[in-house]
Amino acid sequence: MKELINKPPTIPSGETTNKKTLPFSNTAIEKYIPTFGNLRHKIIPFNVPLKSHLKGLTLSVSKATKKKYFVLRYWFQGKYLPYTLGTYGPRFGVKEVSKKLFKIVEEHTNDKGLWIKDPKITKKDDETKITKSQFKNSQRKTVRETIELLCKAGFPRMERGGNLSSRVIASVVRVLIGYNWRTAHLRYRDRNDGTGYVVFRINKVYSKKNKLTQIVKDWDGLFNKFPPGDPKYFIKNKAKTRNPLGMISLYDDDQFGKLLMEDFTSGAIKRFLNNFKGYGSKINVIYSLKVLWTFAKDTGLLGDKPGDCPLKEVPNKRPRLLKKLQVWIKHLQYPNLRKFIKPVFYSLIYTRLGLKKFSSRCLVEGMCQSY
Protein backbone atom coordinates (compact mmCIF):
# COMPACT_ATOMS: atom_id res chain seq x y z
CA MET A 1 0.00 0.00 0.00
CA LYS A 2 2.79 2.43 0.86
CA GLU A 3 4.57 1.69 -2.40
CA LEU A 4 1.34 2.31 -4.31
CA ILE A 5 0.69 5.62 -2.55
CA ASN A 6 4.23 6.90 -3.07
CA LYS A 7 4.21 5.94 -6.73
CA PRO A 8 4.39 9.04 -8.97
CA PRO A 9 0.91 9.68 -10.38
CA THR A 10 0.20 9.27 -14.05
CA ILE A 11 -0.42 12.71 -15.54
CA PRO A 12 -3.27 12.84 -18.10
CA SER A 13 -2.70 14.70 -21.35
CA GLY A 14 -3.01 18.45 -21.01
CA GLU A 15 -2.77 18.45 -17.19
CA THR A 16 -0.03 18.98 -14.70
CA THR A 17 0.59 18.72 -11.00
CA ASN A 18 2.40 21.10 -8.72
CA LYS A 19 4.69 20.12 -5.88
CA LYS A 20 3.33 23.06 -3.96
CA THR A 21 0.17 22.64 -1.92
CA LEU A 22 -2.77 24.93 -1.30
CA PRO A 23 -4.25 25.57 2.16
CA PHE A 24 -7.66 23.96 2.52
CA SER A 25 -9.73 27.11 3.00
CA ASN A 26 -12.14 29.20 0.97
CA THR A 27 -9.90 32.24 1.27
CA ALA A 28 -6.92 30.42 -0.22
CA ILE A 29 -9.04 29.09 -3.07
CA GLU A 30 -10.39 32.56 -3.84
CA LYS A 31 -6.92 34.09 -3.95
CA TYR A 32 -5.36 31.29 -5.98
CA ILE A 33 -4.62 32.47 -9.54
CA PRO A 34 -2.50 29.91 -11.44
CA THR A 35 -0.33 30.37 -14.50
CA PHE A 36 -1.35 27.94 -17.26
CA GLY A 37 1.15 28.35 -20.06
CA ASN A 38 0.16 25.77 -22.69
CA LEU A 39 -1.91 23.73 -20.25
CA ARG A 40 -5.71 23.51 -20.33
CA HIS A 41 -6.02 22.72 -16.62
CA LYS A 42 -3.87 23.49 -13.63
CA ILE A 43 -4.06 21.08 -10.69
CA ILE A 44 -2.76 21.73 -7.20
CA PRO A 45 -3.19 19.43 -4.17
CA PHE A 46 -4.54 20.67 -0.86
CA ASN A 47 -2.40 20.69 2.25
CA VAL A 48 -4.32 18.13 4.33
CA PRO A 49 -3.31 15.34 6.76
CA LEU A 50 -2.37 12.14 4.95
CA LYS A 51 -4.48 9.96 7.25
CA SER A 52 -7.62 12.06 6.94
CA HIS A 53 -10.54 11.50 4.57
CA LEU A 54 -9.32 14.52 2.57
CA LYS A 55 -6.24 12.67 1.30
CA GLY A 56 -6.00 12.94 -2.48
CA LEU A 57 -8.19 16.03 -2.74
CA THR A 58 -6.99 18.58 -5.31
CA LEU A 59 -8.14 21.80 -6.92
CA SER A 60 -8.40 21.89 -10.72
CA VAL A 61 -8.67 25.24 -12.51
CA SER A 62 -9.83 25.50 -16.13
CA LYS A 63 -7.90 27.83 -18.40
CA ALA A 64 -10.90 28.47 -20.68
CA THR A 65 -13.60 29.13 -18.08
CA LYS A 66 -11.45 29.99 -15.02
CA LYS A 67 -13.77 27.75 -12.99
CA LYS A 68 -12.34 25.86 -10.04
CA TYR A 69 -13.25 22.22 -9.36
CA PHE A 70 -12.73 19.90 -6.40
CA VAL A 71 -11.18 16.74 -7.83
CA LEU A 72 -10.39 13.60 -5.84
CA ARG A 73 -7.49 11.45 -7.04
CA TYR A 74 -7.37 7.87 -5.80
CA TRP A 75 -5.89 4.47 -6.63
CA PHE A 76 -8.29 1.71 -7.62
CA GLN A 77 -7.26 -1.64 -9.12
CA GLY A 78 -3.83 -0.32 -10.08
CA LYS A 79 -5.14 2.82 -11.78
CA TYR A 80 -4.82 6.41 -10.64
CA LEU A 81 -8.28 7.86 -11.25
CA PRO A 82 -9.79 11.35 -10.97
CA TYR A 83 -13.28 11.96 -9.60
CA THR A 84 -14.85 15.43 -9.76
CA LEU A 85 -16.73 16.26 -6.57
CA GLY A 86 -18.17 19.59 -7.65
CA THR A 87 -17.53 23.16 -8.73
CA TYR A 88 -16.27 25.62 -6.16
CA GLY A 89 -18.73 28.41 -5.46
CA PRO A 90 -20.70 30.26 -2.78
CA ARG A 91 -22.85 27.17 -2.11
CA PHE A 92 -20.10 24.58 -2.40
CA GLY A 93 -16.94 25.33 -0.48
CA VAL A 94 -14.49 23.47 1.74
CA LYS A 95 -17.14 22.62 4.34
CA GLU A 96 -19.53 21.09 1.81
CA VAL A 97 -16.86 19.15 -0.07
CA SER A 98 -15.48 17.78 3.22
CA LYS A 99 -18.90 16.37 4.18
CA LYS A 100 -19.41 14.87 0.74
CA LEU A 101 -15.96 13.33 0.62
CA PHE A 102 -16.27 11.89 4.13
CA LYS A 103 -19.36 9.93 3.08
CA ILE A 104 -17.68 8.70 -0.11
CA VAL A 105 -14.55 7.53 1.71
CA GLU A 106 -16.62 5.81 4.40
CA GLU A 107 -18.62 3.82 1.83
CA HIS A 108 -15.80 2.98 -0.61
CA THR A 109 -12.72 2.22 1.51
CA ASN A 110 -11.88 -0.49 4.03
CA ASP A 111 -10.40 -0.15 7.51
CA LYS A 112 -6.91 0.21 6.03
CA GLY A 113 -7.94 3.13 3.83
CA LEU A 114 -7.77 1.15 0.58
CA TRP A 115 -10.38 1.85 -2.08
CA ILE A 116 -12.48 -1.29 -2.50
CA LYS A 117 -15.23 0.31 -4.62
CA ASP A 118 -15.08 2.85 -7.40
CA PRO A 119 -17.18 5.96 -6.60
CA LYS A 120 -17.66 6.57 -10.32
CA ILE A 121 -19.45 3.24 -10.70
CA THR A 122 -21.53 3.96 -7.61
CA LYS A 123 -22.59 7.31 -9.02
CA LYS A 124 -23.53 5.72 -12.34
CA ASP A 125 -25.59 3.06 -10.58
CA ASP A 126 -27.37 5.71 -8.52
CA GLU A 127 -28.22 7.68 -11.64
CA THR A 128 -29.54 4.51 -13.27
CA LYS A 129 -31.71 3.81 -10.24
CA ILE A 130 -33.04 7.36 -10.36
CA THR A 131 -33.80 6.96 -14.05
CA LYS A 132 -35.69 3.73 -13.38
CA SER A 133 -37.56 5.41 -10.55
CA GLN A 134 -38.43 8.35 -12.79
CA PHE A 135 -39.60 5.94 -15.48
CA LYS A 136 -41.77 4.14 -12.94
CA ASN A 137 -43.22 7.44 -11.76
CA SER A 138 -43.93 8.44 -15.36
CA GLN A 139 -46.14 5.34 -15.67
CA ARG A 140 -48.21 6.34 -12.65
CA LYS A 141 -51.51 7.85 -13.67
CA THR A 142 -54.26 9.58 -11.77
CA VAL A 143 -57.85 8.39 -11.88
CA ARG A 144 -58.68 11.17 -14.33
CA GLU A 145 -55.81 10.32 -16.65
CA THR A 146 -56.78 6.64 -16.57
CA ILE A 147 -60.38 7.51 -17.46
CA GLU A 148 -59.15 9.50 -20.46
CA LEU A 149 -57.01 6.57 -21.61
CA LEU A 150 -59.95 4.19 -21.18
CA CYS A 151 -62.16 6.38 -23.37
CA LYS A 152 -59.50 6.68 -26.07
CA ALA A 153 -59.00 2.89 -26.00
CA GLY A 154 -62.67 2.38 -26.88
CA PHE A 155 -63.82 0.82 -23.57
CA PRO A 156 -62.32 -2.69 -23.88
CA ARG A 157 -64.01 -5.64 -22.25
CA MET A 158 -62.69 -7.03 -19.00
CA GLU A 159 -62.32 -10.68 -20.02
CA ARG A 160 -62.98 -11.21 -23.72
CA GLY A 161 -61.47 -9.33 -26.62
CA GLY A 162 -63.16 -6.37 -28.25
CA ASN A 163 -65.07 -3.46 -26.78
CA LEU A 164 -68.16 -3.25 -24.62
CA SER A 165 -71.57 -2.93 -26.23
CA SER A 166 -73.05 0.51 -26.81
CA ARG A 167 -75.56 0.11 -23.98
CA VAL A 168 -72.85 -0.82 -21.49
CA ILE A 169 -70.55 1.96 -22.73
CA ALA A 170 -73.31 4.50 -22.14
CA SER A 171 -73.77 3.19 -18.59
CA VAL A 172 -70.02 3.31 -17.86
CA VAL A 173 -69.67 6.78 -19.39
CA ARG A 174 -72.42 8.12 -17.14
CA VAL A 175 -70.53 7.06 -14.01
CA LEU A 176 -67.03 8.00 -15.14
CA ILE A 177 -67.50 11.26 -17.08
CA GLY A 178 -71.26 11.85 -17.03
CA TYR A 179 -73.59 14.29 -15.27
CA ASN A 180 -71.88 16.90 -17.45
CA TRP A 181 -72.53 18.59 -20.77
CA ARG A 182 -69.69 16.59 -22.33
CA THR A 183 -71.86 13.46 -22.53
CA ALA A 184 -74.51 15.43 -24.42
CA HIS A 185 -72.08 15.44 -27.35
CA LEU A 186 -71.82 11.66 -27.53
CA ARG A 187 -73.81 8.98 -29.33
CA TYR A 188 -73.37 5.24 -28.91
CA ARG A 189 -73.48 2.75 -31.77
CA ASP A 190 -72.97 -1.01 -32.22
CA ARG A 191 -71.04 -2.86 -34.88
CA ASN A 192 -72.18 -6.10 -36.47
CA ASP A 193 -70.05 -8.13 -34.07
CA GLY A 194 -71.76 -6.61 -31.03
CA THR A 195 -68.94 -4.29 -29.97
CA GLY A 196 -69.82 -0.67 -29.38
CA TYR A 197 -68.22 2.64 -30.26
CA VAL A 198 -68.78 6.33 -29.60
CA VAL A 199 -69.76 8.96 -32.17
CA PHE A 200 -69.25 12.68 -31.51
CA ARG A 201 -72.01 15.12 -32.38
CA ILE A 202 -73.31 18.65 -31.82
CA ASN A 203 -75.86 19.09 -29.05
CA LYS A 204 -78.55 21.56 -30.15
CA VAL A 205 -79.52 22.58 -26.62
CA TYR A 206 -75.93 23.36 -25.67
CA SER A 207 -75.28 25.11 -29.00
CA LYS A 208 -78.20 27.49 -28.45
CA LYS A 209 -76.67 28.64 -25.17
CA ASN A 210 -73.13 28.69 -26.57
CA LYS A 211 -73.28 29.92 -30.17
CA LEU A 212 -69.50 29.95 -30.58
CA THR A 213 -69.20 26.26 -29.75
CA GLN A 214 -67.17 24.13 -32.14
CA ILE A 215 -67.66 20.56 -33.25
CA VAL A 216 -65.97 17.99 -31.05
CA LYS A 217 -64.12 15.50 -33.26
CA ASP A 218 -62.26 13.29 -30.79
CA TRP A 219 -61.73 12.56 -27.12
CA ASP A 220 -58.91 15.09 -26.77
CA GLY A 221 -61.18 17.80 -28.09
CA LEU A 222 -63.97 16.71 -25.73
CA PHE A 223 -61.79 16.79 -22.61
CA ASN A 224 -60.27 20.12 -23.63
CA LYS A 225 -63.70 21.61 -24.24
CA PHE A 226 -65.10 20.29 -20.96
CA PRO A 227 -62.19 20.15 -18.48
CA PRO A 228 -62.61 18.14 -15.27
CA GLY A 229 -63.99 19.74 -12.15
CA ASP A 230 -65.34 22.90 -13.83
CA PRO A 231 -68.76 23.58 -12.24
CA LYS A 232 -70.07 25.63 -15.16
CA TYR A 233 -70.28 22.45 -17.24
CA PHE A 234 -72.13 20.44 -14.58
CA ILE A 235 -75.77 19.59 -15.22
CA LYS A 236 -77.13 20.72 -11.87
CA ASN A 237 -80.81 21.09 -12.72
CA LYS A 238 -82.43 18.05 -11.12
CA ALA A 239 -85.39 18.32 -13.47
CA LYS A 240 -83.10 17.38 -16.33
CA THR A 241 -83.27 13.75 -17.32
CA ARG A 242 -79.47 13.62 -17.60
CA ASN A 243 -78.91 14.16 -13.89
CA PRO A 244 -82.10 13.70 -11.86
CA LEU A 245 -80.24 13.33 -8.54
CA GLY A 246 -77.64 16.07 -9.07
CA MET A 247 -74.67 13.68 -9.06
CA ILE A 248 -71.02 14.35 -9.99
CA SER A 249 -68.97 11.91 -12.05
CA LEU A 250 -65.71 10.36 -10.91
CA TYR A 251 -63.84 12.42 -13.53
CA ASP A 252 -65.20 15.69 -12.13
CA ASP A 253 -64.82 14.78 -8.46
CA ASP A 254 -61.72 16.61 -7.20
CA GLN A 255 -61.46 14.43 -4.10
CA PHE A 256 -61.20 11.13 -5.97
CA GLY A 257 -60.30 12.13 -9.54
CA LYS A 258 -56.89 13.48 -8.51
CA LEU A 259 -55.88 10.28 -6.71
CA LEU A 260 -53.33 7.97 -8.27
CA MET A 261 -54.89 4.75 -9.51
CA GLU A 262 -52.79 2.77 -7.04
CA ASP A 263 -54.21 4.93 -4.22
CA PHE A 264 -57.80 4.41 -5.37
CA THR A 265 -58.20 1.60 -2.87
CA SER A 266 -61.28 -0.10 -1.47
CA GLY A 267 -61.58 2.58 1.22
CA ALA A 268 -61.64 5.41 -1.33
CA ILE A 269 -64.08 3.44 -3.48
CA LYS A 270 -66.43 2.98 -0.53
CA ARG A 271 -66.39 6.71 0.17
CA PHE A 272 -67.13 7.47 -3.47
CA LEU A 273 -69.90 4.88 -3.50
CA ASN A 274 -71.58 6.60 -0.56
CA ASN A 275 -72.57 9.42 -2.93
CA PHE A 276 -75.03 7.03 -4.59
CA LYS A 277 -78.14 5.97 -2.68
CA GLY A 278 -79.98 3.39 -4.76
CA TYR A 279 -79.06 -0.27 -4.82
CA GLY A 280 -79.26 -0.41 -8.62
CA SER A 281 -77.16 2.75 -8.97
CA LYS A 282 -74.43 1.23 -6.81
CA ILE A 283 -74.40 -1.90 -8.97
CA ASN A 284 -73.78 0.28 -12.02
CA VAL A 285 -71.03 2.25 -10.24
CA ILE A 286 -69.23 -0.89 -9.05
CA TYR A 287 -69.30 -2.40 -12.53
CA SER A 288 -67.97 0.82 -14.11
CA LEU A 289 -65.12 0.99 -11.60
CA LYS A 290 -64.28 -2.65 -12.33
CA VAL A 291 -63.97 -1.77 -16.01
CA LEU A 292 -61.65 1.11 -15.12
CA TRP A 293 -59.50 -0.92 -12.71
CA THR A 294 -59.19 -3.87 -15.12
CA PHE A 295 -58.08 -1.52 -17.90
CA ALA A 296 -55.43 0.02 -15.62
CA LYS A 297 -54.18 -3.45 -14.67
CA ASP A 298 -54.07 -4.74 -18.25
CA THR A 299 -52.17 -1.68 -19.49
CA GLY A 300 -49.55 -1.86 -16.71
CA LEU A 301 -50.60 1.33 -14.92
CA LEU A 302 -50.74 -0.48 -11.58
CA GLY A 303 -47.19 -1.85 -11.69
CA ASP A 304 -45.90 -5.40 -11.93
CA LYS A 305 -47.93 -6.66 -8.97
CA PRO A 306 -51.33 -4.94 -8.97
CA GLY A 307 -52.84 -7.44 -6.55
CA ASP A 308 -56.52 -8.30 -6.28
CA CYS A 309 -59.23 -5.95 -7.44
CA PRO A 310 -60.14 -3.65 -4.52
CA LEU A 311 -63.80 -3.77 -5.55
CA LYS A 312 -64.00 -7.31 -4.15
CA GLU A 313 -63.89 -5.74 -0.70
CA VAL A 314 -66.67 -3.25 -1.48
CA PRO A 315 -70.04 -4.59 -0.30
CA ASN A 316 -73.36 -3.71 -1.90
CA LYS A 317 -75.99 -5.47 0.17
CA ARG A 318 -79.40 -6.03 -1.30
CA PRO A 319 -82.16 -4.10 0.53
CA ARG A 320 -83.98 -6.27 3.05
CA LEU A 321 -87.52 -5.48 1.87
CA LEU A 322 -86.73 -6.15 -1.76
CA LYS A 323 -85.06 -9.44 -0.89
CA LYS A 324 -88.07 -10.63 1.11
CA LEU A 325 -90.43 -9.59 -1.65
CA GLN A 326 -88.49 -11.52 -4.26
CA VAL A 327 -88.47 -14.65 -2.11
CA TRP A 328 -92.21 -14.31 -1.50
CA ILE A 329 -93.00 -13.88 -5.19
CA LYS A 330 -90.75 -16.80 -6.07
CA HIS A 331 -92.91 -19.20 -4.06
CA LEU A 332 -96.14 -17.98 -5.62
CA GLN A 333 -97.56 -20.10 -8.38
CA TYR A 334 -99.74 -18.25 -10.85
CA PRO A 335 -102.31 -21.02 -11.53
CA ASN A 336 -103.17 -21.39 -7.82
CA LEU A 337 -103.53 -17.71 -6.94
CA ARG A 338 -107.32 -17.67 -7.42
CA LYS A 339 -107.77 -20.37 -4.80
CA PHE A 340 -105.95 -18.51 -2.01
CA ILE A 341 -106.61 -14.82 -2.69
CA LYS A 342 -109.97 -13.46 -1.58
CA PRO A 343 -112.20 -11.67 -4.08
CA VAL A 344 -111.93 -8.47 -2.02
CA PHE A 345 -108.17 -8.38 -2.51
CA TYR A 346 -108.78 -9.12 -6.17
CA SER A 347 -110.93 -6.05 -6.52
CA LEU A 348 -108.37 -3.79 -4.78
CA ILE A 349 -105.56 -4.79 -7.12
CA TYR A 350 -107.98 -4.80 -10.02
CA THR A 351 -109.03 -1.20 -9.32
CA ARG A 352 -105.49 0.04 -8.68
CA LEU A 353 -104.17 -1.22 -11.99
CA GLY A 354 -107.24 -0.06 -13.88
CA LEU A 355 -107.55 -3.38 -15.68
CA LYS A 356 -110.62 -4.75 -17.41
CA LYS A 357 -109.41 -8.31 -17.34
CA PHE A 358 -107.80 -10.12 -14.45
CA SER A 359 -104.70 -12.29 -14.66
CA SER A 360 -102.50 -13.81 -12.01
CA ARG A 361 -99.42 -12.10 -13.47
CA CYS A 362 -101.12 -8.72 -13.19
CA LEU A 363 -101.83 -9.50 -9.55
CA VAL A 364 -98.14 -10.06 -8.82
CA GLU A 365 -97.25 -6.86 -10.66
CA GLY A 366 -99.79 -5.00 -8.59
CA MET A 367 -98.31 -6.33 -5.37
CA CYS A 368 -94.84 -5.28 -6.52
CA GLN A 369 -96.08 -1.78 -7.23
CA SER A 370 -97.70 -1.60 -3.82
CA TYR A 371 -94.29 -2.18 -2.25
In a shared domain, residues 294 and 236: yes
- In the chain, the amino acid numbered 230 is D
Domains identified in the chain, total number:
3
Amino acid identity for residue 66 in this structure: K
Q: Is 308 found in the same domain as 163?
A: yes
Could you give the C-alpha distances from 198 to 88, 153, 156, 194, in angstroms and in order? 61, 11, 12, 13
Euclidean distance between CA atoms 164 and 173, whole angstroms:
11
Residues 164 and 75 occupy one common structural domain? no
CA angle 76, 81, 83 (to 5 degrees): 115
14 in helix, strand or coil?
A: coil
Whole-number Cα distances in Å, 132 to 135, 137, 138, 139, 146? 5, 9, 10, 11, 22
pTM over cut 0.85: no
pLDDT at 151: 93
Looking at residue 305, its pLDDT comes to 81
For the chain, list residues with pLDDT below 50.
Answer: 1-18, 239, 342, 344, 355-358, 360-361, 363-364, 366-371
81 and 165 together in one domain: no
Q: At what angle do helices 166-176 and 279-298 cross, to 10 degrees?
A: 100
193 residue type, one letter: D
Q: Which domain holds residue 56?
A: 2-137
Q: Are residues 159 and 117 in the same domain?
A: no
* Domain shared by 123 and 235, yes or no: no
**Does residue 168 share a domain with residue 109?**
no
Do 133 and 150 share a domain, yes or no? Answer: no
User: Which pLDDT score, from 0 to 100, does residue 353 have?
Assistant: 52
Same domain, residue pair 169 and 308: yes
Give the per-residue pLDDT at 96: 92
Q: Say yes or no: 168 and 292 in one domain.
A: yes
Tell me the per-residue pLDDT of 286-300, one tens digit each, with 9 for 90 and over.
Answer: 999 999 999 999 988
Closest CA to 144 of 258, 298, 271, 311: 258
Q: Are residues 108 and 202 in the same domain?
A: no
The DSSP result for 310-361, as a single string, is GGGG---PPPHHHHHHHHHHHH--GGGHHHHS-HHHHHHHHHHHT-SS--HH
